[in-house]
Every structure is written in structure tokens, then in C-alpha cells.
Amino acid sequence: MRLFFMNSGHTRMRLVQAGAVVAAVALIAGCGNTYRAVVTPVNTNGPAAQPGSFTVVVSAPSPTTAGIATIIDYSGDSVLAEAPIGPGPTAFTIDATGSNGYTVNSDGTLSNFPISNALQANKVSYSTLATTTAPYPPVNMFSPSAGLWTADLTGNSGDFFTGIPEAFKLAIPVAATPVTIIGPGTIGQRNYVISQGNVSSGVACNISPTTGPVGVATAIETGTLTVSASIPLGKCPVFGVQSSDYRRFFVMNRGDDTITVINSQNNTVDSCIPFVNQSGQTVTCHPSLPVSPAPGLLHAGPVYAEYNAATSQLIVANYDGNSISVIDVSMDEYGNDSATFGTTFTIPVGNNPASVTVLADGSRAYTANQTDGTVTIVDLSSHTAEKAPLPVIGHPRTVVSTQNSSYGKVYVASPDSPYLTIIRTDLDIVDTTVLVEGNIVDVRVTTQNGSSGNSNTVSRVPGYGEPCYLPGAAAQSTLLACQTLP
């Protein structure tokens, strides 16, 4: 009995000891679970998230049915949303923030729509144009960061719109036949309404050179919405851009192959008595810059331009001269024209370049050659075409570019095609095409490249000197076939 008792005691002792060990292990394990050294996690490396960037296309299935606004994603080249807008849109632009789009429609209405991947028909709103626009809509719109302006061809006025949605507020009388508006658009600055004068019709300005009257730039003070100056231009002015600091405005005069330079600081044509500045440089102002056609042609016919901020250059599409002009428009530290201002290189491209776009770094330009149905890629350092032009679908009229990642993209639209052509700028090849509903009226991008001016916020309508495409010589002699304006 005693032996059994002693064995039982040892067993109990061993059990107690084993339990203590288990408890100690559990205690240690429990402490390990509740207390750990602080460690800073190392996240995996990868590219930064891309900011949102959209391409916006407005197309028209027919002149009388509702147009379509299509939102395309930059990174995937895919359609994110689309919605019907007003019938037969004739002009399209977006505002400087890339947030809102506007179209002028053939029924005399103005469409307002948000640029979003959630765009639906119920988000599109409409307002009326000025009563003076009947029976013809404005030929162009200008949409700065706030407000909206239109060039009212019928009323010979610059029409100002404001509110949400944008609604007509005031018509400001300007010179006859206003065709476009340029400017910063902000309060305290001034915009310029570009008018062609008493031309007989738009056909007269579709021929270069022309014997018509000289144009006029009407300065409108945005703070008071009043006219402050009337500045003479060349013949048949059709488009304008501005430098990034708004000190110089450049107007394309298709009728006499010149570019009028406006000094907005003085609100006059850019002219002065030559003088030597504080750096010892001789400064000569340039009221007019000549542009030249490709070899063998007589006339240039400038119709479009972009200002590149990185290089302080103006790149001009010469529609009648099958060329682009690369012009130094830099200024010195005192706000005067630099010693190299006006230096120009003429580069042959394809037939009838209707527009041009420039990459952010100023390295290359891309032209929409309307008659050829091609895009020419120009090296702006060597001033030569890089390689054979890239073929696109249709006869392109608009080319725009953007850079939202390690490489950029160029978008090409033709008024006789429902396909948007997309070019990758790292390889300079056609990446893909996107089909939309109906032929394309125009295209814009929400994230701009390094170019500034009004290339993204001003619409263009064929006619009155702006290119329109018809087979053969009819494009130069017939207006009604390519637009509805008188």
C-alpha cells in the first residue's frame, strides 16, 4: 500500500510538473502572440497610378439625328461611356479644365455635358443660343476655365455665356464676319474676337491668296465685357493661338500667307522702334510673320497652329503650301521679342495639312494631311520628316496629342470616317482604331500636352478659310457642300 501511495505521489508530482511546463509554454506562446517587434513593412515597387485622362469624340450619324458624345479611356483605348446630344452637331470643344464639353447643334441649341465615365443622356443639358444666330449657328466656340464664348456670324458679335449649364448672357458687337475667339478668358484679362471683314462669302476665304478685305481683332475686356481696341490683321484670318504667358497672340491669315502678332500688354499690333535692351541685344518687334509653302508651290495658306511652351515655338500648318512653319517666338526677360524672334524653318509634309500637334517636349510634330489621308511625323530638331507618312482612315482634319504615362498618344479624326486613329509616340506606329457612331465632328483630350494656347478649347467649323474636304478641286471652290453656313 505504501509503495502504491508513493508511486501515486510521484505520478501526481509528475503530472503537476508537466502541467506547469504546459502552462509555461502556453504563457510564453500567449506572450508571443500579443507582443511583437514593430516592423515597418516594405511595399512592392511599381509605377505610380496614372491620373485620369479621357479622349472625347463628338460624331454625327446624320445631319438631322442626335449626335453622340463618346468618352474613351487613355490607358485602354476603350469606350467608357457615350450619350446622345443635340441634333446635327456642327462644332465641339471642351473647357480648359477638361471637365465639360459643349456642342453647337443644327437646331440652334447648345449642349452641355460632363466629361466622365458615368456620362449618360440624363446628364446632358441644353440651352439656347443668342436670337441673332438664327438661322445659322455660331461658327466657333471658345471655352476657358469659366464661361463660354461664341463667334456669332449672323449677329456680328461675340456672345458670352455663363452659369451651369452655360446660358446666353450678352452679345458684344464686333467687326463683320467673326470666325473665332482667343484669349485667357479670365477676369482682368482680354479676349480677341477675330473677324474677316466684309467678305462676300466663306468661299472667298477658302482660296489662297484672296483679294478680300483685311481682318480685324476686336479686344474685349473680360472684366467689363466692353470693347477696348480694334486691331488690323491680314487677309482672311481663320485661327489664333496665344503664348503661355498671354503676352503674345498669333493670328493665322490664310489669305496673304502671314501671321499677325498682337502684343496684348499694349493691346496693339506688335511693333516698336528698334532698341538695345539691358542685356545688350537689339530688339525689333514683329507685327507680321511670313510663312512659306513647300518648294514648287506658290502659296502657304496658314490655317492652324500650336504654341509649344518647352521651346517657345509656334508650329503652323500651311494647308495650301503642303508644309509646316516652325517659328521662334521667344521673348527676353523684359517681356520684349527676343533677338531670335521670327526665325523660321519651313518643312515639307503631306498634301493639305489641316492641323498639327506637338509633343510636350517639343521634339516632334504630327500633321493631319487631309488630301493624302496620312499623318507626317516631323523631327523638330533636324527639321525633317522622320519616315514615310502613316496612313489613317479617311481624310483627317484634326490631330491632337497628350502624354499621361511614359509615352504619349496622338489622336487623328476625319470628317468622312467613324474611326478614330490612335498613334503611340514611343514607337510612332498606329496603335489601334476606335469605332464611334457616325462620322467624327471633332476630338479633344482632357489632359493636354506641353502645348498651350487655344488648341484644346477652341472649336473649328469647316468654311470661311477653315479646311473642308471634298474630292478634287471642289474643296477649294464649293462651300455649301461641306457646311451649312451661307
Is 401 inside a domain boundary? yes
Contact predicate 183/172, CB 8 Å: no
CB atoms within 10 A of CB 42: 6
User: Alpha-carbon dihedral of residues 305, 306, 310, 312, nearest 10 degrees?
Assistant: 40
430-443 pLDDT, tens digit per residue, is: 999 999 999 999 99
CB atoms within 10 A of CB 430: 17
pLDDT at residue 449, rounded to an integer: 57
Give the whole-angstrom CA distance, residue 185 versus residue 382. Answer: 36
Q: Quick one: average pLDDT of 467-479?
A: 51
Whose CA is closest to 115, among 103, 102, 100? 100
Contact predicate 349/378, CB 8 Å: yes
Contact predicate 168/159, CB 8 Å: yes
Cross-strand partners of 262 = 249, 269
Number of domains comprising the chain: 1
pLDDT at residue 454, rounded to an integer: 63
439-445, strands of its sheet edge to edge: 79-87, 66-73, 54-60, 439-445
287-313 pLDDT, tens digit per residue, is: 999 999 999 999 999 999 999 999 999
Q: Give the ranges where 159-277 is alpha helix by DSSP (H).
A: 202-205
pLDDT at residue 484, rounded to an integer: 38
Is 16 inside a domain boundary? no
> Distance between alpha carbon 122 and the CA centroid of its chain, in Å?
26
Is 430 inside a domain boundary? yes
* Residue 204 dihedral angles phi and psi, to the nearest 5°: -60, -35
* Residue 477, SS3 per DSSP: helix
Is 349 inside a domain boundary? yes
pLDDT at residue 220, rounded to an integer: 96
pLDDT at residue 476, rounded to an integer: 40
Contact predicate 380/326, CB 8 Å: yes
Contact predicate 262/254, CB 8 Å: no
Buried/exposed code over 317-335 (b: 16+ C-beta within 10 A; e: otherwise): bbbbbbbbbbbbbebbeee
Where residue 111 sits, what CATH number does that domain have? Answer: 2.130.10.10
CB atoms within 10 A of CB 408: 22
Cross-strand partners of 54 = 73
Whose CA is closest to 407, among 373, 438, 363, 349? 363
- pLDDT at 43 > cutoff 70: no
User: Alpha-carbon dihedral of residues 213, 217, 218, 221, nearest 10 degrees?
Assistant: 180
Whose CA is closest to 144, among 112, 100, 107? 100
Contact predicate 292/259, CB 8 Å: no
Among 9-13, 47-51, 311-315, the least confident range: 9-13
- Of 172 and 44, which is predicted with more confidence? 172
Is 321 inside a domain boundary? yes
pLDDT at residue 332, rounded to an integer: 87
Give the whole-angstrom CA distance, residue 247 versus residue 362. Answer: 20
pLDDT at residue 477, rounded to an integer: 38
Domain of 247? 54-477
Longest dimension (CA), the chain: 137
- pLDDT at 462 > cutoff 90: no
User: Which residue has cell 487631309?
Assistant: 370
257-275 pLDDT, tens digit per residue, is: 999 999 999 999 998 888 8
Is 108 inside a domain boundary? yes
pLDDT at residue 39, rounded to an integer: 58
* 468 — pLDDT class (breaks 50, 70, 90): confident
pLDDT at residue 186, rounded to an integer: 78
Contact predicate 293/318, CB 8 Å: yes
- pLDDT at 226 > cutoff 90: yes
Give the whole-angstrom CA distance, residue 456 versus residue 47. Answer: 28
Whose CA is closest to 318, among 365, 352, 357? 352
Is 31 inside a domain boundary? no
- pLDDT at 20 > cutoff 70: no
102-142 pLDDT, tens digit per residue, is: 999 988 889 999 999 999 999 999 998 887 665 566 778 99
Give the whole-angstrom CA distance, residue 368 versus residue 398. Answer: 6
Q: State how far the alpha carbon of 485 is from the alpha carbons of 102, 109, 120, 175, 306, in Å.
A: 19, 16, 31, 18, 26
Cell numbers describing residue 173: 458687337
Average pLDDT taken over every residue of the chain: 84
> Residues in the chain, how many?
486
Bond from prior residue into 209 cis (ω within 30 degrees of 0): yes
Among 151-155, 199-203, 358-362, 409-413, the least confident range: 199-203
Is 41 inside a domain boundary? no
308-342 pLDDT, tens digit per residue, is: 999 999 999 999 999 999 999 999 888 889 989 99
pLDDT at residue 433, rounded to an integer: 96
pLDDT at residue 387, rounded to an integer: 85
364-420 pLDDT, tens digit per residue, is: 999 999 999 999 999 999 999 988 999 999 999 999 998 766 788 999 999 889 999
* 203 — pLDDT class (breaks 50, 70, 90): low
Whose CA is closest to 182, among 223, 141, 145? 141
* Residue 250 dihedral angles phi and psi, to the nearest 5°: -125, 125
